[in-house]
């Protein structure tokens, strides 16, 4: 387990123990109160709850192996995490890392686990498909990309000895 993941896991406990309304700047506290329609103590509880959701999501996302039930729970926690972060921090909307969370479940199912993955990996996959476009006939791009992707998946299937890890 990485140090970042450990810190993320203990952060709710640290915040719950030490975070009080005086720790936040008055302007930030006021903005959070207006945005969430909560009083000062409820805002603090919402921040702790948000970090707890992030910690649970991180723990599940970076497990070494995932079961079918884990994928369902991961999807639920990813949605809860996105909702909690946007609810508290409105400037999170449109950030690349928050957008990448939308794709984590699909990447987990496709590539097995999310361990040792990052946004750069997903962007690299996007770049690969983007670089394929000039080599298509430009009349039916979706078909050409699908054909190339299917070919890559077939080669991967054969290289894995005829086992598709997405269906396990």
Structural domains in the chain (count): 1
**pLDDT per residue over 112-166, tens digit each?**
777 666 656 566 666 777 777 777 777 777 788 788 888 888 887 888 787 776 6
> What pLDDT shows up at residue 48?
92
Q: Would 144 be classed as within a structural domain?
A: no
Local structure of 62: helix, strand or coil: coil
User: Cα separation of 152 and 158, whole Å?
Assistant: 10
Instruction: Give pTM, 2 decimals.
Output: 0.62
> What are the angstrom distances between the C-alpha of 30 and each of 20, 37, 39, 45?
14, 10, 9, 15
- Asked if 109 contacts 92 with a C-beta cutoff of 8 angstroms, the reply is no
Q: Would 106 be classed as within a structural domain?
A: yes
Q: Would 7 be classed as within a structural domain?
A: yes
Q: Would 154 be classed as within a structural domain?
A: no
Helix count and strand count (H, E) for the chain: 7, 0
The model's confidence at residue 49, banded by pLDDT at 50, 70 and 90, is very high
**pLDDT per residue over 15-39, tens digit each?**
888 888 888 899 988 988 998 899 9
> What pLDDT shows up at residue 122?
60
Q: Would 145 be classed as within a structural domain?
A: no
Q: Would 162 be classed as within a structural domain?
A: no
Domain that holds residue 29: 3-135
pLDDT at 10 over 80: yes
pLDDT at 76 over 90: yes
- Asked if 61 contacts 18 with a C-beta cutoff of 8 angstroms, the reply is no
Q: Would 164 be classed as within a structural domain?
A: no
User: Cα separation of 66 and 74, whole Å?
Assistant: 9
- Asked if 57 contacts 78 with a C-beta cutoff of 8 angstroms, the reply is yes
Q: Would 159 be classed as within a structural domain?
A: no
């Amino acid at each position: 387990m990485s140090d970042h993941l450990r810190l993320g896991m203990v952060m709710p406990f640290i915040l719950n123990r030490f975070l009080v309304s005086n720790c936040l700047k008055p302007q930030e506290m006021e903005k959070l109160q207006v945005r969430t329609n909560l009083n000062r103590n409820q805002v603090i509880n919402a921040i702790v709850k948000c970090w707890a959701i992030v910690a649970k999501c991180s723990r599940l996302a970076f497990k070494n192996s995932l079961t079918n039930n884990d994928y369902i729970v991961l999807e639920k926690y990813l949605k809860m995490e996105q909702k909690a972060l946007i609810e508290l921090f409105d400037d999170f909307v449109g950030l690349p890392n928050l957008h990448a969370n939308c794709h984590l479940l699909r990447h987990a199912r496709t590539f097995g686990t999310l361990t040792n993955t990052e946004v750069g990996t997903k962007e690299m996959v996007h770049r690969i498909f983007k670089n394929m476009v000039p080599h298509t006939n430009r009349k039916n791009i979706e078909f050409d990309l699908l054909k190339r992707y299917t070919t890559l998946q077939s080669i991967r299937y054969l290289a894995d000895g005829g086992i598709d890890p997405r269906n396990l």
